[in-house]
């Protein structure tokens, strides 16, 4: 899954970043930290049919939808990707992602693995990062301590987590979320490196190189 030069030559467009990983690994926590450190990064707000948790706000954490509303979004091709996850639907509104990228801004999607693989097919030039827990025990501990899910849901999410971990090979990068700040810095480092990679094939640099080639002079020592 290596980006090639043709895919990278997207002058002026922002970079799409997908952050995946099992439920409870800390995707939301790392994104919250990124909001403080990477102010230019835009966050995609997903649509979901799950009920809001205490403190969650419609339009901020998610766009909370009924099943009928979600199905109508699917039928209207309004979603870049969608997936069913442990009894609920989740999906990424397409228009916001397209508009953000066209405006030259980078956008991050915090989504589960099935959806991420669908995005990969549509945006092979995107950056796909898998966030890993230090251990499965710690994952279970985090999701339990968060206190938002029933025991049954935790069991289901842990079972899905094991399946998701097996799909790590489809990602460009893995980051172990042992410390939130460290994980956040790693995401930023990846983004910086990807910008430099794109710069290498940018029309600006290509033009500069052509000018050098047209005006070759020898430099005597
Ligand atoms: N590096 C870390 N060390 C210790 N605890 C952490 C760390 N990162 C996140 N947590 C805690 O783990 C819990 C789960 O984090 P969070 O809700 O961000 O996970 P998530 O991957 O977004 O989950 P979901 O996919 O279910 O939305 C939270 O209580 C959070 O405070
Ligand atoms: N495929 C998608 N997955 C999404 C999207 N938004 C969130 N998610 C993922 O769902 C699970 C559960 O989330 P929770 O908020 O109920 O804990 C988690 O892995 C999210 O990352 C989306 O638009 N598409």
CATH at 58: 3.30.63.10
d(CA 59, CA 45): 7
CA of 108 to the centre of ligand 2 (A): 13
Query: Do residues 100 and 111 share a domain?
Result: no
Assess whether 121 and 74 both reside in one domain: no
Q: Are residues 145 and 179 in the same domain?
A: yes
pLDDT tens-digit readout, 52-75: 999 999 999 999 999 999 999 999
- Could you report the per-residue pLDDT of 92-107, keeping only the tens digit for each? 999 999 999 999 999 9
Backbone angles phi, psi at 132, to 5 degrees: -110, 145
Asked if residue 79 lies in contact with residue 154, where contact means CB atoms within 8 angstroms, the answer is no
Distances (CA, A) of 81 to 101, 112, 200: 16, 11, 30
- Pick the last residue of a domain from 82, 104, 126: 104
Does residue 32 sit in the same domain as residue 129? yes
Q: Is the CB of 186 under 6 A from ligand 1?
A: no
pTM: 0.93
Domain of residue 170: give its range: 1-41+106-221
Q: For residue 1, is pLDDT > 60?
A: no
Residues forming beta bridges with residue 90, ordered by sequence position: 48, 83
* For the CA of 86, the nearest atom of ligand 2: 12
Residues 125 and 159 in one domain: yes
Annotated binding residue 87: no
The residue contributing the CA closest to ligand 1 atom 9 is 26
Last-in-domain residue among 104, 121, 141: 104
Mean pLDDT is lowest, of 5-9, 49-53, 83-87, for 5-9
**pLDDT tens per residue, range 121-136:** 999 999 999 999 999 9
For residue 6, what pLDDT band results from cuts at 50, 70 and 90?
very low
Provide the pLDDT for residue 94: 98
């Amino acid at each position: 899954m290596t980006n090639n030069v043709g895919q990278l030559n997207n002058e002026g467009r922002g970079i799409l970043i997908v952050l995946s990983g099992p439920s409870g690994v800390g995707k939301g926590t790392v994104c919250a930290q990124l909001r403080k450190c990477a102010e230019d990064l835009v966050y995609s707000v997903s649509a979901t049919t799950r009920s809001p948790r205490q403190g969650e706000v419609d339009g901020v954490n998610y766009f909370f939808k009924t099943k009928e509303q979600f199905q109508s979004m699917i039928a209207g091709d309004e979603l870049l990707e969608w997936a069913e996850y442990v009894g609920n639907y989740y999906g990424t509104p397409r228009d916001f992602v397209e508009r953000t990228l066209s405006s030259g801004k980078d956008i991050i999607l915090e989504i589960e693995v099935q959806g991420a693989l669908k995005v990969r097919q549509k945006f092979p030039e995107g950056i796909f990062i898998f966030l890993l827990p230090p251990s499965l025990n710690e994952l279970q501990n985090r999701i339990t301590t968060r206190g938002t899910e029933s025991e049954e849901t935790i069991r289901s999410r842990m079972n899905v987590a094991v399946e998701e971990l097996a799909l790590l090979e489809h990602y460009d990068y893995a980051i172990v979320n042992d410390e939130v700040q460290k994980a956040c810095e790693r995401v930023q480092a990846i983004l910086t490196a990807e910008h430099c990679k794109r710069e290498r094939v940018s029309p600006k640099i290509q033009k500069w190189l052509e000018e050098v080639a047209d005006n070759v002079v020898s430099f005597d020592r």
